[in-house]
Chains A and B, each alone.
Chain A
Amino acid sequence: MVSRPPTEDELVERARRGDGAAFGTLIREHQEIAFRTAFLIARNAADAEEAAQSGFMKAFGALPRFRHGAPLRPWLLAIVANEARNRRRSAWRREQLAQRAATELPSGDAAPSPEGSVLAAEQRATLLAALETLRDEERLVLSCRYLLDLSEEETAATLRIRRGTVKSRTSRALERLRAELGEEA
């Protein structure tokens, strides 16, 4: 007889009782999105790693206060994001996404022509560069929603704002981004 894998709720319950392996299993499920969230906030891989590890450790200690049955991911992201905010360094330490786009981004199209690849890469680099010009709060809300594909609820938890604020801030940030790109709504 093959036993089914434990559910998230069961793993949370085991982790609450101090089972590090159960917590490790939960972390494995969410570590990539948590690390990327931390990276977009701290803008530095070393800071992001420290933020994610510290956040997970704090989450482990705070599990007894975690509301039973609530989704784990937004709760974890909120803790990790808070750690990342505390580790933000001065601007010169931050990695520029635009630079990464210009030099490293592969084409997202299937087998594009060389000219098409160059054009697509340039358009992405332009879009990322425009994103970088936004205020932090606007850049982060768009990053959460579109670059990390977080839901409104997860974005709200990560940025510690209301869900309604996520909507209004996203709308405003998109307007600014269009203006930066010289496009009309």
Chain B
Amino acid sequence: MSAETEPAVHPVAADAERVRLHAEGVRVGYGDAVVVGGADGLDLDVVAGTVTAVIGPNGCGKSTLLRTLARLLAPRHGHVLLDGRRLDSVPSREVATVLGVLPQDPTAPEGITVADLVARGRHPHQRWFRQWSREDEGAVAEALDWTDMAGFAGRTLDTLSGGQRQRVWISMALAQGTEVLLLDEPTTFLDLAHQVDVLQLVERLHRERGRTVVMVLHDLNLAARYAQRLVAMHRGEIAVAGTPHEVLTEQTVRDVFGLEARVVPDPVAGTPMVVPMGRVGTDKTH
């Protein structure tokens, strides 16, 4: 709760309540329009060692919020704190050793190999004269291993399937070795099996490595299943935030998505599962 007054905690001993990322009265916009934050600005805490999923309809500002947390966008008002320090007061390179981000649609140069791409995640730890230290090599080998992509190290990215490519990008983010990871729609363009694949990776990261993850997700059921905390956004503001059970109610789904739905327990995990019936105001038996 009181992250600012807390002394720097050793990362391994991070207690469950330590706030890693904190948005304070944040308002973000493009041009004249305020996209995120509404009238009073948006507040958000991301607690150490949790997986948070940001959900909401198209255009509600999910990605804008994530990009602001990742310092890819500068807020007009308010600020984002990483471990109690304002993001815009810490050198970007230093931030990059603690906070990693995987954008929605990253581009790779033509003909790059998997190993070379993953190695670029080491950039914040490197200098122009130190581009492949033992630590770099170890981190890249481990990241490839972790995502089961070691066998593809020598392949070029364009020879891989969409699901494999996404694993490579996640490897790159892993090689960066940051304790906090922001993922912008990591499952888009993937079929269901590969979506689950990616989310299981995220779950392992959280469980086995204690990483803090914030991700934007479209699929509510998967979000409820793989995140401990949901943040539902509506028109640039946080409508509800809390555990999946607190957030995924029939009321929220109606208010935020404009969707009539039943919410039942997921038969496998027991997390709430949304069964859509139809748009608000249309015939439900349709």
State whether these chains interact.
Answer: no
